[in-house]
Structure 1
Amino acid sequence: MTVITQHPAPALADGESTRVVVRHWRLPIVFAVFSAISILLFLVFPRPGTTTYTFSTKSDFFTIPNVQIPSIATGIVVTIIALIITAVAFVLVARGRSVPLWLGAIFAVALLVGFITWSVGDGTVPVAGLLAAALGLSVPIIYGAMGGVLSERVGVVNVAIEGQLLGGAFTSAMLATITHSVVVGLIGAAVAGMIVSFILAAFSIKYLVDQVIVGIVLNVLVSGVTGFFYTAVMANNTAAFNLPPTLPNLPIPLLSQIPVVGPVLFNQTLIVYVMYVAVAGVYFFLFHTRWGLRVRAVGEHPKAADTVGVKVNPTRFWTVLIAGAIAGFGGAYFTIGGVGGFVKDMTSGLGYIALAAVIFGRWDPIRATLAALLFGFAGALQSLLGLLHAPIPSEFLRMLPYLVTIFAVAGLVGQSRGPAASGKPYIKS
């Protein structure tokens, strides 16, 4: 919620002026809601017990001692911290100032620790395992988000991320099984994503069809095509068409033995390491190269870009193809990067969560990556709480990643401005 008020400014020589103060109450209200939830959980319905947090694995250079936290005392401390930060946020906004990012980070971390401790009770939380699972669930979301950022930065709304991921997963599984080569599977996944993007670009750029409608139709089309071939071909002959080799973990010497972060970041498969390069590459080329400047110019003001000699529609077309290749490559993580075989609709809506990460990250590669990690962490936390038999209905646990997505996009982001020409076809006059 935003409130705009006017305050008299000091009188000038020719009369009195007015100073406009914009107050954004959304964040303090969100803090207040979560403070009320913390009071309800931690004070009204406390859970006795002591939660043990473990940080080290057997292969680490050194061992970090386990930390034991009493549930009731933690809940009281977290509630006090939440109430203090909420009060500070209201005071800052009332005075026309913004709430610092670090204050929101402290609020979120405190409530997260309190919630996990309350949920687990006398159980054990393997921190390194939780973070590794969060990164694993985030990988396809990050690939999809990078494809979404590129597409929307150039002016094309990419709702077809789901189809690109699913097409990449299907193609990589089938080609890797037939050729017994993960390299062929990875290349096939990227090509499949490009094919989906080619259809999106052709209809939205050349034939001026509504981009959102084309994206939704492509998602349904890819789901139907891959589902048909899975039922008709793969399910009847798994050994020949749906038993691909999988990528092994490639631990980086020394780095993989750093406690907590080592096993999480540096003991991964090739697809994860390529993801690191993809995020850095998209950021660098988008903001530090002439090509990136042209892409952003086309997405913001295509007519002005055309005036200075940038070919708007070809730039959009090729950028969308590159975006599709990135998303399709990420789809291979579902198969040869993880479980191996393809399963019908195995992406389970992660393409839409990737689109939400793009919006939550305000069309910035780094911020979109952080948003994707947040959604992946929500999924990993849901799995952990389910395994530890937390006193939360299983239906709510299954909804947790999607609730976090809705809350992040609607509750924290609210109204946000994307590229000005995103979703608008360009017709050269």
Structure 2
Amino acid sequence: MSLSGWLPILAGVLAAATPLLIAALGELIAEKSGVLNLGVEGMMLVGALTAFAVASGGAGYAAGALAGALAGVGLAALFAWLTLNCLASQVACGLAITMLGSGLSAYAGRDYVSRTLDGMALIPLGGGFGFDPLIVTGLLLTVLVWYFLQRSRAGLVLRAVGESPATAHALGLPVRRIRWAAVLFGGACAGLAGAYLAIDYTPMWVEGLSAGRGWIALALVVFAGWRPGRTLLGAWLYGGVGILQFHAQALGIAVPAQFLGMLPYLATIVVLTLIARDPLTQRRHTPASLGQPWHPHA
């Protein structure tokens, strides 16, 4: 296949990987603080609907993307209040947020089902080439998250909170506020990932638009060992598996479409199974306090 034949496939992989990458990076920051947020899928759905409603209302794609991110922050704030202030179970609250986001987006999005958008325009680079601003946002976010965690004092503080909140509190660090900030950042990323699906990747609104991508993003964090660089590579891998179903016929692959459609989720099961076979390595990279409630007066 010539280079011109591969370029659409590579562009498709980048596009399919972007919502996974953005959502996974947000969840990575939340988990580095010790908070397990299983509500990513619900935040993506609410972010997607909000972004589509704003963009289709004439406010523009940038406003839609911002609104989607803020919608994710709103659900993240509810999750943070329940788990960090009320000390409710992180697992139970995350699942509740996912169900809330799924139901709320399905109910509120009934009037938008038949509408479509043109999608975000590429920013021209010359020579007939251009780039998608949200795809570039995902790549830049990877670099920023890596720098934050590995090169900044704030990143060191975040990792310290995730490893031992009691010790961090004894050193005078505002553990709860740091975790709040991490969870809100994760919600913003989930909402932005959903916004990308609704106003750029699809671009349309249907019930359950995220189609399980929030759960794949959660698995991607574990697959990457809580490291941004590996998260990027993992997102590309999942994006390649996901885009295969659209190019299989063009490549002459005679495989049922239903099988190709389930490949990303089958890959998730396989990856998590392989990781579980090496618990020592997984334990070495997992934040020590992940999923554990903490209170300053405990």
8 Å contact from structure 2 (residues 65, 196) kept in 1: no
Structure having the higher Rg:
1
* Structure 1 residue 158 displacement after superposition: 1.6
* Structure 1 residue 234 displacement after superposition: 2.5
State the distance in 1 between where 2:81 and 2:214 align: 21
Root-mean-square deviation over aligned CA pairs: 1.8
Question: Which residue of the partner structure matches residue 192 of structure 1?
Answer: 71
* Structure 1 residue 392 displacement after superposition: 2.6
CA distance 1:158–1:387, change in 2 (3 Å): farther
Question: Which residue of the partner structure matches residue 209 of structure 1?
Answer: 88
SS of 1:246's equivalent in the other structure is: coil
Q: Which ranges in structure 1 are unaligned for 5 or more consecutive residues? A: 1-52, 58-125, 258-266
Structure 2 letter corresponding to 1:189:
G
> Structure 1, residues 341-374: CA drift from partner, whole Å, max 9, x if none?
2111110000100111100001111111211111
Structure 1 letter corresponding to 2:293:
P
CA distance 1:328–1:382, change in 2 (3 Å): same
State the distance in 1 between where 2:157 and 2:229 align: 20
Structure 1 letter corresponding to 2:295:
I
8 Å contact from structure 2 (residues 69, 190) kept in 1: yes
Match of 1:225 among 104, 115, 126: 104
Question: Which residue of the partner structure matches residue 119 of structure 2?
Answer: 246
Question: Which residue of the partner structure matches residue 289 of structure 1?
Answer: 152
Question: Which residue of the partner structure matches residue 38 of structure 2?
Answer: 159
Q: How does 1:26-425 map to 2 (within 5 A)?
A: 53-55=1-3, 57=4, 126-231=5-110, 233-235=111-113, 242-244=115-117, 246-253=119-126, 267-388=130-251, 390-412=253-275, 414=277, 415=279, 416-417=282-283, 418-425=286-293
* Structure 1 residue 419 displacement after superposition: 0.3
- Under a length normalisation based on structure 1, what TM-score does the superposition of the two structures give? 0.65
* Structure 1 residue 226 displacement after superposition: 0.8
Runs of 4+ in 1 over 6 A off after TM superposition: none
Which structure: greater strand fraction? 1
State the distance in 1 between where 2:234 and 2:14 align: 12
8 Å contact from structure 1 (residues 145, 354) kept in 2: yes
State the distance in 2 between where 1:202 and 1:146 align: 21
Q: Percent identity?
A: 31
SS of 2:197's equivalent in the other structure is: helix
8 Å contact from structure 1 (residues 287, 293) kept in 2: yes
Structure 1 letter corresponding to 2:92:
I
SS of 1:251's equivalent in the other structure is: strand
8 Å contact from structure 1 (residues 146, 279) kept in 2: yes
* Structure 1 residue 389 displacement after superposition: 5.2
Q: Which ranges in structure 2 are unaligned for 5 or more consecutive residues? A: none
State the distance in 2 between where 1:245 and 1:314 align: 40
Which structure: greater helix fraction? 2
CA distance 1:276–1:394, change in 2 (3 Å): closer
CA distance 1:382–1:411, change in 2 (3 Å): farther
Structure 2 letter corresponding to 1:315:
I
Question: Which residue of the partner structure matches residue 34 of structure 1?
Answer: none
CA distance 1:413–1:369, change in 2 (3 Å): farther
